[in-house]
Structure 1
Amino acid sequence: MGSLVPFQDLNHMPDPQATASSSAGLSAGATTGVAPGFLVPKIEPKTEPIDEWQGQNHSVSAFFSNSQNTPPPPPSSSSSSGDSDVYAEFNRVSELFRSAFAARLERYGDLSVIDAIDPVPEGFQLPTSGSPSGVGDNRLSKYVVSPRPSAAKFQRPQELARVAALGLEDQKHFREIVKRTRMIYDSLRIFLMTEEMKQFGVGCRRRARGDLRASSLMRECGLWLNQDKHIVGSIPGIHVGDLFFYRMELCVLGLHGQPQAGIDYLTAWRSSNGEPIATSIIVSGGYEDDEDIGDVLIYTGHGGQDKLHRQCQHQKLEGGNLAMERSKCYGIEVRVIRGFKYENSISSKVYVYDGLYRIVDCWFDVGKSGFGVFKFKLVRIEGQPELGSAVMKFAQMLRTKPLTARPSGYISFDISCNKEKVPVYLYNDMDADREPLYYEYIDKSAFPPFVSFQGDNNLIGCDCVSDCNDDCPCARKNGGQFAYDYSGNLMRGKQVIFECGTLCKCSLNCRNRVTQKGLRIRLEVFRSKETGWGVRTLDLIQAGAFICEYAGVALTREQAQILSMNGDTLIYPGRFTEKWGMWGDLSQIYPDHVRPSFPSLPPLDFAMDVSRMRNVACYISHSNEPNVLVQYVLYDHNNLMFPRVMLFALENIPPLVELSLDYGVADEWSGKLSICN
C-alpha cells in the first residue's frame, strides 16, 4: 500500500523571505503585497456565490462550525482506535533533513510527519497509481477514516502529507470507502430534506439545506474522510471526473476543505516554517479575470471584491494568494475542481474534479475592472485521464447535435421505436455488429396472465385527492413510510416497494408513482472492447434517481427449466445482490436506524427470458462494484412472487459513464453468470 511522504521543515533552511523574493517572479510591488500607492483592501477569502436559496438562519459558516439546529447524535462506533501504525516509513529522506533533524527523529522515530514542505527537486515525478506497495490494508485505512473530532470546535489539520503510491488492491479499497461515505451523505441529505419539507410543507418558500445539515451530522459522528492530514496531490479513492452537487460534499471527502473559499491551503500559523501552502482550488467563473482553456488556466487571486463579487479594490499578497505563490515556488501541485451550471442539476452548480495542476507562473497585473489583481498560471500535469468537465460538455453536445460531435458510428437514434419517452441511442464504431436491432424492444416486463389474477385479490387503492400522505393505505403497505422523496429519488431501499396503482385516486404526479412513469434518462447502447455491449448515460444521474426497468418475459420455474435446455438467455431476479439494503442505511448517524424488514418478499423463484424481447437494461454489464442497484417494485398487481425489477442509481453518475450491475451468483449448472452479454 502507499505511504504518506512528509515534507521537510524549512525553519533551518535559507531565509524564506529571501527565497520568496528571488523565486516568486513577481513585480516589485507584488513582493510587498501591493504596488506603490495602491489602496490595501480588507483581505477576504476568495469566495464563490452560495447556492441561490431563500430562508433564514441558514449560514454556511454556521453549519461548518458546530450546528445548533440539531442535537448531536450518539458517538459512532466506527472511529478508529490509535494511530501508531498509520504512517508508513519514509521511503527516502534527504541528507539535509537527516542532519538538521536528527534529534527530532531520535525523539519521535520514523513515524514523525513534519508540518512543512520541501522544495521539489528537478525531475520530480508524481508516483503512479500502479506503483508496487508492500503495506497492509489496515495501515492506510486508519489514516483515511478520521477519528471523531472534538465537540468543542472543529480544527483543520496542521500537518502536510502526500500519499506516495497505491497498488491496484489499495485503489479499490479506498474507492469503496469513498463510495460508502458518499452514499451515506447522499441518502442522509435526501432524508433530511424530506423531513424538513414535511415540517414546513412542500410549497413553502423556505429551501431546505440538507447538504449543510448532512455534512454537520457526519462531522459530529466522525465520518469525514482525510481530516487528520492536509493532503497534497491526489486524494485516495477520488478519481478524475468524479462529480459533486454540493460544496460541503467536497469538505466531507477532504477534496477541498473550504465550504465557500475558492483556495484551500495550509495556513501560515499552522505551518512550522510560517509559510502557507495551497493544496486545491475551485474554478467557477466568480472572477472576471480568470481565463480557462482546459489544460492551461489563468487563475485570479482572492480579495478586493464587494458583496456582488465585483472587483472594487486592489489585491494583496496574503492568505490564499501567498499560499499559491509559495506552492509555485516549491513546485507543489494543486487539485483543480471546476464548478459550472449544468442542465437538470439539483443544485445551482455541479463540481467536477479535473486532476492535478502545477503553478508555473504568477504576477501582479491590472484587471479588467482597473484594479490590481494577482494572476497564477496553472498547467495540467500530463498522464492523467481526460478532463471531467470536458467530457460533460461533450455529452451536452451529443444530446443536441450528435452528428456534429460524432459524425460516424451511430446505428440508430432510437432502438425503442418510440416506446420510451426518451430515445435510446445505438452506437458502434468498432465493428459491423448490429445485434441490438434484431429483437423486439419492450419497455415493461411481460408477466403470465395468472400473475395479475392471483394478485388482484388483495389489490386495494387509496382515496387521496392529490398527493399521498403517510397515513394512507399505500403508506401502510410500505411499512408506514414511503420509499421516495418529493423529487422521486429513492430515500430508503426496501425488499419491495408498493407504488400507487390503477385503483388509487391520487394524481399521476403523486410522490409514490415513480417507476411506472418509465425511462426519463437518455441512454446509449454502445460497443466496447471490455464488456462487448454496454450502456452509458448521456445525462447526469443523481444518486438515488430511478433509471429504468429491467424488462423481459417472466417465466415460472418449470418454464425456465425447459428454455434453459435450449440455451436461451435467462436472467434470475433472485440472484441480484441486495444493494438496496445499503441505500439509506443511516445506522452510523442514528443507532436506532435499522434495516427495514417490512414489507418483505418470499424467495423469488422465477426467471426472465431476454433472448427475444428485452429493453436497454439487458445490455448493462456486470461489475462487483456497480453504480446501479436493483429495487423490486409492485404497482399493477400485488403478486409478491413476481415483482418488477427496477434500477436506481447507487451514486452520482456523470455523463458518458458506463452503467454496471452486480448480477449475483453464477448459474449452478454452467458456472457462468447469466447475463445478456
Structure 2
Amino acid sequence: MASSSSPLQSPLFSLLSTPGVVVPKLEPSEFNGGGGDGGGDGGGDGENPSQLLTPDLLRRLLDELSPAAARDDALLSDYLLLAKLKLAAASAATSPPAAAAATPSPSSVISSVALANPSPKNRRRSGGLVRVSHLGAADHAYFRVLVRRARLTYDSLRCLYARRRSIRDEAGGGGGGGGGEGGSPGRRRRPDLIAAKTMTDRGLWLHRDRRIVGPIPGVAVGDVFLYRAELCVLGVHGAVQAGIDFVPASQVPEGEPIAVSIVSSGGYQDDEDAADDVLVYTGSGGRVGRNSVWHSADQKLERGNLALERSMTYGIELRVVRAHPADATPTGRVYVYDGLYKVVDCDRHVGRSGCHVFRFKLLRMQGQDDCGLKNLKLAEHLKAQLAAGAKPEGYAKRDISRKRELLPVPLFNNIDEDVDPRLFDYVARPDFPSPAVAPRGCKCVADCSTNCLCEKRNKCGFAYSNGVLLRGRPVIFECGDSCKCPPTCPNRVAQKGMRHQLEVFRSRDTGWGVRSLDVIQAGSFVCELSGEVLTREEAKYVSAEHATYLIDPTRFPERWREWGDVSEAIPDRPPPEFANRPELGYFLDVSRKRNVACYISHSSVPNVFVQFVLYGHDAESYPHIMIFAMENIPPLRELSIDYGIGQECVGMLAQ
C-alpha cells in the first residue's frame, strides 16, 4: 500500500464498506464462532461474507496491511489496525464453527459466547465468554455461598502467610512468603499474592475456565475488597495490576478484543471519578513507570484501549470496580464493586502531561442496587456529622450507649416514631460472677511471645496477627489484668472494645438491625454480645414468657470453625489441636439490659460469627461472647449472625 494513501482512498476500506461484505457486528451473546446470518452494516442482502472473501484474498489483504504498525501517522495506523481486525473476523467466518463446551449450572441458563475449551492442565485463563441469566432465588443463594467460601479461604490463607512472614521478620529471616506453599522471589512474597497463587494451584479460583460478561453470580453490588488479588480469585477482574481486563483478539473468533471489567483506582492524571454514576476512565499505556501517573508517550488504540472501544461499539456492559481511600485498611484503600456500566463515548486528546491519551466515558446502567461508592461516601459524611456533634436527618439519638462504648452508638429511624432501643439500660460488657480463685497471668515485661503462659493456654499459638483473628477456636485466652504485659500486647484485642462505628437502625425487613459506618475487615473484632448474666440454675425459674428474652450461648453454631480453615487449599496441613471448651454456665437476659449486639439480625448465611474469649478471670464456663467479621463488610450493610434457632425464635429482638 502506498504511503500516500488515506483511509478513505484505500481500496481496502472501499471493499469493507460495500453492502453485504462487512462482517456483521453481533452482540457477544450471539457469537457462535461462525459467520452469522448475514445482514451487514449497510443493510445489504444478507450474503455470507465467506462467499465474497476467499481465504486467498484475505491472506493477501492481511499481508498488505502488515507494515501498518510502523506508520508515522497515528490516526491512520489506528484505522488500519481496525481494518486488520475486520479482516481477521472475516477470516474466522470462513472456518467452520467450533463446538461449544457444555457448562453445567444449577437451574440457570448460561449463554455461550465463542466458548473455548482449554486443556485441564493449562492454567491460563480461558477466552470463552459467557453470560449468566435467569437465576432464581435458590441459585443466588447457592452462588453467594460459593463466593463466601472462596473469600473465607482466601482471607484465611492471606492471614496465615502474613503471620509466617511476621514470624520470619521477628527472627531476622527476611520477608519470605509461604515456603513450599506458594513462596517465590520478588513481589510474589506478598501474602495476598501468595494466597491467590495457592488457590489457583489448587484450582480454587472461581470461573477460571470462562470469562463472564455482566455480573458475577454471588457477588453483590457494594461488596468491598482490600486486595486486587481477591478480585481475580472471584472472577470479578482477571488482572492483578492492569486496570482493563479483556479477552484478546486471538481468543475471539471475530478477531476483536472484548473488555469485561475495569478497575478505576485513580492511576492516571486524566481520570475523573467524582460523580456516582458517571466515570471518565483514561486508557492504558504511555506511562513513565508502572506506578507513575504521568505519561511519557502517546497511548495507542490497542489491547485494552481497543477492547473498550469495541465494547462501546457493541454496547457490551462492563463490571466496574472503583477504588476509594480508606485509612483504616491495610492497603490504605478499599475496592468496591460498583455494578455494570456501559462505555458511551471515547475520544483521543492531549492529556495534562502533553501526550495523547484515550478517555472513555462510562455510564452506570439503571435498575441496579445503589452505587457502592455512593454508600461509602454517604457513610463518611454521616460519620463526620456525628463526630462534629450534629444529628443528621433520620437520627433519633446520637449515642444510645451513653458513652459506655469507646465510640457512640447512634439510633437511626426514618420509618416510624419507635425509639425502643433508648428504653433499655445499656451494658457494654456482662457482669460475670467474681472468681473464687485469683486468675493466672503471664510474666512478660514486653509484648507476649512464644512460650509465655498465655501462649501455652492457647495451645496452637496466639489467635491474632495485627489485630485480626488468624483461626477460629473453641475459646481464646487473652491476656488479662493479672498479666504483666503492656496494654499494647497483641494478645489483647476483643477486650479493648469496639473499633468500628456501629449504629442501630430501623429496618422494614428485620424490625431493628445493626450496621457500620466503617469498612469492617474480615477477621476483625466487631462487638461483644452483652446483657444481664443469669446462671443456669437461676434461669430455671424464669417464666415461659420471660424466657423469650434469654440468649443461650450454647445455641450458637460453631461458625468459628470456618474462619481460618485452609484445608481445601492445603489438604496436607495437619489439623490444629485446640483446647476443649468447657460447659457454659450462664444465659444472657436481655429483657432489661442489653447492648448494640442484641439488635443484630439472624441469618443462615451470616457475615459475622461468635467467638468465645476469656480474659480477666479463669472461670472458663463464663467466656465473653465476642463477635467477629466473617467477610469484608461495607458501610451501611446490615450485620447478620446465625443464632442457631428458627427465625421465629429471634424475632423478639427485632420488635
TM-score range normalised by the length of the shorter chain = 0.7 to 0.9
Give the secondary-structure state (helix, strand or coil) at the position aligned to 1:612: strand
Q: 1:165-188: per-residue Cα shift (whole Å, max 9, x none)? A: 211100000000001100111111
Map 1:495-510 → 2, pairs under 5 A? 495-510=474-489
Partner of 1:536: 515
For residues 262 and 254 of structure 1, the distance between their equivalents in structure 2, rounded to whole angstroms, comes to 14
8 A Cα contact 1:7 1:161, kept in partner: no
For residues 240 and 119 of structure 2, the distance between their equivalents in structure 1, rounded to whole angstroms, comes to 17
For residues 230 and 244 of structure 1, the distance between their equivalents in structure 2, rounded to whole angstroms, comes to 20
- Any stretches of 5+ residues in structure 2 without a counterpart? 1-27, 44-67, 78-92, 111-116, 177-188
Give the secondary-structure state (helix, strand or coil) at the position aligned to 2:402: coil
Structure 1 residues 674 and 562, CA gap change in structure 2 (3 angstroms): farther
1:654 positional shift: 0.7
Which amino acid counterpart does residue 533 of structure 1 have in structure 2? W
Partner of 1:227: 208
Which amino acid counterpart does residue 399 of structure 2 have in structure 1? D
Partner of 1:376: 360
8 A Cα contact 1:158 1:271, kept in partner: yes
Partner of 1:90: none
Which amino acid counterpart does residue 172 of structure 1 have in structure 2? A
Which amino acid counterpart does residue 284 of structure 1 have in structure 2? S
Partner of 1:309: 293
1:365 positional shift: 1.9
Partner of 2:190: 209
Which amino acid counterpart does residue 155 of structure 1 have in structure 2? R
For residues 557 and 630 of structure 1, the distance between their equivalents in structure 2, rounded to whole angstroms, comes to 20
1:271 positional shift: 1.5
Which amino acid counterpart does residue 620 of structure 2 have in structure 1? L
Q: Which moved more, 1:511-520 or 1:584-593?
A: 584-593
Map 1:459-498 → 2, pairs under 5 A? 459-485=439-465, 487-498=466-477
1:189 positional shift: 0.4
The answer on 1:297 being equivalent to 2:276 is: no
1:408 positional shift: 2.1
For residues 308 and 29 of structure 2, the distance between their equivalents in structure 1, rounded to whole angstroms, comes to 21
1:595 positional shift: 5.0
Structure 1 residues 139 and 367, CA gap change in structure 2 (3 angstroms): closer
Which amino acid counterpart does residue 271 of structure 1 have in structure 2? V
Partner of 1:168: 137
Q: Which moved more, 1:153-162 or 1:229-238?
A: 153-162
Which amino acid counterpart does residue 303 of structure 2 have in structure 1? G
Q: 1:151-202: per-residue Cα shift (whole Å, max 9, x none)? A: 7x63121211111221110000000000110011111101110111001129
Which amino acid counterpart does residue 33 of structure 2 have in structure 1? D
Give the secondary-structure state (helix, strand or coil) at the position aligned to 1:555: strand
Partner of 1:429: 414
8 A Cα contact 1:464 1:505, kept in partner: yes
- Any stretches of 5+ residues in structure 1 without a counterpart? 20-31, 42-99, 114-133, 141-146
For residues 532 and 575 of structure 1, the distance between their equivalents in structure 2, rounded to whole angstroms, comes to 22
8 A Cα contact 2:32 2:97, kept in partner: no
- Residue of structure 1 aligned with 2:525, choices 528, 546, 552: 546
Map 1:596-615 → 2, pairs under 5 A? 596-615=576-595
The percent identity for this pair of structures is 46
Give the secondary-structure state (helix, strand or coil) at the position aligned to 2:410: strand
8 A Cα contact 2:614 2:623, kept in partner: yes
8 A Cα contact 2:445 2:485, kept in partner: yes
For residues 413 and 530 of structure 1, the distance between their equivalents in structure 2, rounded to whole angstroms, comes to 23
Map 1:71-470 → 2, pairs under 5 A? 104=97, 108=99, 111=101, 136=106, 154-201=123-170, 209-292=190-273, 293-307=275-289, 308-402=292-386, 407-449=392-434, 452-453=435-436, 456=437, 459-470=439-450
Q: 1:341-391: per-residue Cα shift (whole Å, max 9, x none)? A: 222121132111111111122222222222212222211111001110111
For residues 381 and 532 of structure 1, the distance between their equivalents in structure 2, rounded to whole angstroms, comes to 31
8 A Cα contact 1:493 1:583, kept in partner: yes
Give the secondary-structure state (helix, strand or coil) at the position aligned to 1:611: strand
- Residue of structure 1 aligned with 2:599, choices 606, 619, 624: 619
1:564 positional shift: 3.6
For residues 532 and 283 of structure 1, the distance between their equivalents in structure 2, rounded to whole angstroms, comes to 37
1:411 positional shift: 1.8
Give the secondary-structure state (helix, strand or coil) at the position aligned to 2:138: helix
Higher relative contact order (CA 8 A, sep 6+): 1
1:289 positional shift: 1.8
Structure 1 residues 437 and 445, CA gap change in structure 2 (3 angstroms): same
Which amino acid counterpart does residue 280 of structure 1 have in structure 2? S
For residues 103 and 370 of structure 1, the distance between their equivalents in structure 2, rounded to whole angstroms, comes to 47
- Residue of structure 2 aligned with 1:672, choices 646, 649, 652: 649
8 A Cα contact 2:237 2:261, kept in partner: yes
- Residue of structure 1 aligned with 2:623, choices 627, 639, 643: 643
Map 1:519-598 → 2, pairs under 5 A? 519-567=498-546, 569-593=549-573, 596-598=576-578
1:675 positional shift: 5.4
Give the secondary-structure state (helix, strand or coil) at the position aligned to 2:612: strand
Which amino acid counterpart does residue 364 of structure 2 have in structure 1? R
Which amino acid counterpart does residue 294 of structure 1 have in structure 2? D
Which amino acid counterpart does residue 387 of structure 1 have in structure 2? C
TM-score normalised per structure 2: 0.80
Which amino acid counterpart does residue 535 of structure 1 have in structure 2? V
Partner of 1:61: none
Which amino acid counterpart does residue 259 of structure 1 have in structure 2? V
1:14 positional shift: 7.4
Q: 1:254-293: per-residue Cα shift (whole Å, max 9, x none)? A: 1100110111000011222221100001111112222232
8 A Cα contact 1:570 1:674, kept in partner: no
1:35 positional shift: 10
8 A Cα contact 1:337 1:352, kept in partner: yes
Structure 1 residues 674 and 445, CA gap change in structure 2 (3 angstroms): farther
8 A Cα contact 1:465 1:507, kept in partner: yes
Give the secondary-structure state (helix, strand or coil) at the position aligned to 1:565: coil
8 A Cα contact 2:109 2:135, kept in partner: no
Q: Which moved more, 1:232-241 or 1:363-372?
A: 363-372
8 A Cα contact 1:574 1:605, kept in partner: no
Structure 1 residues 559 and 112, CA gap change in structure 2 (3 angstroms): closer
Q: Which moved more, 1:194-203 or 1:412-421?
A: 194-203
1:149 positional shift: 8.7
Q: Which moved more, 1:540-549 or 1:342-351?
A: 342-351
Give the secondary-structure state (helix, strand or coil) at the position aligned to 2:542: helix
For residues 205 and 136 of structure 1, the distance between their equivalents in structure 2, rounded to whole angstroms, comes to 47
Structure 1 residues 232 and 138, CA gap change in structure 2 (3 angstroms): closer
Question: Which is greater in Rg?
Answer: 2
Partner of 1:81: none
Q: 1:110-154: per-residue Cα shift (whole Å, max 9, x none)? A: 7569xxxxxxxxxxxxxxxxxxxx9746998xxxxxx99967x63
1:464 positional shift: 1.3
Q: Which moved more, 1:529-538 or 1:282-291?
A: 282-291
For residues 615 and 291 of structure 1, the distance between their equivalents in structure 2, rounded to whole angstroms, comes to 43
For residues 385 and 221 of structure 2, the distance between their equivalents in structure 1, rounded to whole angstroms, comes to 26
8 A Cα contact 2:156 2:564, kept in partner: yes
Structure 1 residues 493 and 296, CA gap change in structure 2 (3 angstroms): same
